[in-house]
Amino acid sequence: MPKVSPHEPSTGPTDTDVVVVGNGPIGAALSVLLAQRGRRVTVLERRRRPYTLPRATSFDGETARLLAACGIGPDLGRITEPASGYQWRTASGETLLDIEFGSRGPYGWPDANTMHQPALEELLAARAERLPGVTVLRGRQVVGIADHGDRVVVTAEDEDGAVQTVSARWVVGCDGANSFVRDHLDVPVTDLGFSYEWLLCDVRLRDPRDFVPTNVQICDPARPTTLVGSGPGHRRWEFMRLPGERAAELNREETAWRLLAPFGVTPDTATLLRSTTYMFQARWAEQWRVGRVLLAGDAAHLMPPFAGQGMCSGIRDVVNLSWKLDLVMRGLAEETVLDTYTEERRAQVKDSILASVQLGRVICVTDPAAAAERDATVLANRRGRGPTRPEPAKPLTEGLLYRGDADEPARPAGEVVPQGAVDGPGGSGPFDEVVGRGFVLLLAAGADAGLGAERLSFLAGLEAFVVRLLPGGQGSAGSGAAHAPGVVEVVDADGVYGAYLARYGASALLVRPDYHVFGAAEGPEGAAALVDDLRDRLTAAVPAGAAGHRR
CATH number at residue 425: 3.40.30.10
User: With 50 as the cut, is the pLDDT of residue 109 above it?
Assistant: yes
**pLDDT at position 474:** 58
* Structural domain boundaries enclosing 481: 421-539
Question: Between the ranges 51-55, 401-405, 471-475, where is the mean pLDDT highest?
Answer: 401-405
Is the pLDDT at 475 greater than 90, yes or no? no
Q: Is 214 exposed, middle or buried (0-12, 13-18, 19+ CB in 10 A)?
A: buried
Please check whether residues 53 and 184 belong to one and the same domain.
yes
Q: How confident is the model at residue 426 (pLDDT cuts 50, 70, 90)?
A: confident
Amino acid at the residue 359: L
Summarised one tens digit per residue, pLDDT across range 303-317 is: 999 989 999 999 999
Same-domain status, 319 and 184? yes
Q: Residues of the chain with pLDDT > 70: what percent? A: 93
Query: Which range, 36-45, 399-408, 425-434, is most confident?
Result: 36-45
In whole angstroms, give the CA distance from residue 10 to residue 165: 15
The mean pLDDT value for 177-183 works out to 97
How far apart, in whole angstroms, are the C-alpha atoms of residue 519 and residue 156? Answer: 43
Q: Is the pLDDT of residue 547 over 50?
A: no
- pLDDT in the model for residue 405: 85
The answer on 24 and 166 residing in a single domain is yes
Residue 129 lies in a domain: yes
> Which of residues 302, 337, 372 is at a domain's end?
337
Peptide bond before residue 409 is cis, with ω within 30 degrees of 0: no
> 276, 306, 337: which is the final residue of a domain?
337
pLDDT of residue 473: 62
User: 194 pLDDT band (50/70/90 cuts)?
Assistant: very high
Q: Measured between alpha carbons, how far is 211 from 218 in angstroms, rounded to an integer?
A: 14
Percentage of the chain exceeding pLDDT 90 = 87
Cα distance between residue 107 and residue 505, in whole Å: 21
**Do 47 and 139 have their domain in common?**
yes
Contacts of 162 (CB under 8 A, 6+ apart): none
Sheet holding 283-285, edge to edge: 189-191, 283-285, 301-302
Strand order in the sheet with 225-229: 95-100, 85-90, 215-219, 225-229, 234-240, 197-205, 270-279
- Of 16-20, 218-222, 544-548, least confident by mean pLDDT is 544-548
Closest by alpha carbon to 42, among 14, 67, 70? Answer: 14
Span 277-295, pLDDT tens digits? 999 999 999 999 999 999 9
Alpha-carbon span 501 to 509, nearest angstrom: 7
From residue 417, alpha-carbon distances to 212, 421, 430 in Å are: 31, 13, 13
**At residue 299, what are phi and psi to the nearest 5 degrees?**
-65, -25
Residue 78: inside a domain: no
Give the model's pLDDT for residue 541: 55
CATH number at residue 137: 3.50.50.60
Does 267 map to a domain?
no
Q: Are residues 24 and 134 in the same domain?
A: yes
Asked whether the bond before 543 is cis by omega within 30 degrees of 0, the reply is: no
Average pLDDT over residues 114-134: 96
Query: Mean pLDDT for the chain?
Result: 92
Q: Are 39 and 329 in contact (CB under 8 A)?
A: yes
Name the DSSP class of 281: -
Q: What is the largest CA-CA distance in the chain?
A: 72
If one counts the domains in the chain, the total is 2
pLDDT confidence tier of residue 12, bands split at 50, 70 and 90: low
Instruction: Give the mean pLDDT of 182-204.
Output: 96
Residue at 433 is within a domain: yes
Give CA–CA dist 489/427, Å, rounded: 12
The alpha carbon of 17 is separated from its chain's Cα centroid by a whole number of angstroms, namely 23
Band of residue 404 on the pLDDT scale cut at 50, 70, 90: confident
- Phi/psi of residue 178, nearest 5 degrees: -100, 45
Residue 185 and residue 328 share a domain:
yes
Q: Residue 476: what pLDDT?
A: 52
- Per-residue pLDDT averaged across 25-51, rounded? 96
Q: Where does a domain end: 337, 352, 372? A: 337
Tens of pLDDT, residue by residue over 71-105, are 999 999 999 999 999 999 999 999 999 999 999 99
Residue 411 resides in a domain: no
d(CA 524, CA 502): 16
d(CA 382, CA 50): 45
Are 106 and 418 a contacting pair, CB within 8 Å?
yes
Residue 496 falls inside a structural domain: yes
Are 431 and 315 in a shared domain? no
Are 342 and 547 spatial neighbours (Cβ–Cβ below 8 Å)?
yes
Phi-psi region of 356 (alpha: psi -120 to 50; beta: other; left: phi over 0): alpha
| Separation CA 94–CA 302 (nearest Å) | 31
Q: What's the rounded mean pLDDT across residues 456-465?
A: 94
* pLDDT for position 142: 98
pLDDT of 6 > 60? The answer is: no
Find the mean pLDDT for residues 226-250.
95
Rg value, the chain, Cα: 24
Q: Tell me the pLDDT tens digit for each residue of 512-535.
A: 999 999 999 999 999 999 999 999
**Cis amide leading into 485 (omega within 30):** yes
Which one is predicted more confidently, 446 or 494?
A: 494
Q: Does residue 307 share a domain with residue 184?
A: yes
With respect to residue 302, please indicate whether it lies within any of the assigned structural domains.
yes
Is the model's pLDDT at 479 over the cut of 50? no
Residue 199 within any structural domain of the chain: no
- For residue 80, the model assigns a pLDDT of 97
**Residue 78 near residue 112 (C-beta atoms within 8 A):** no
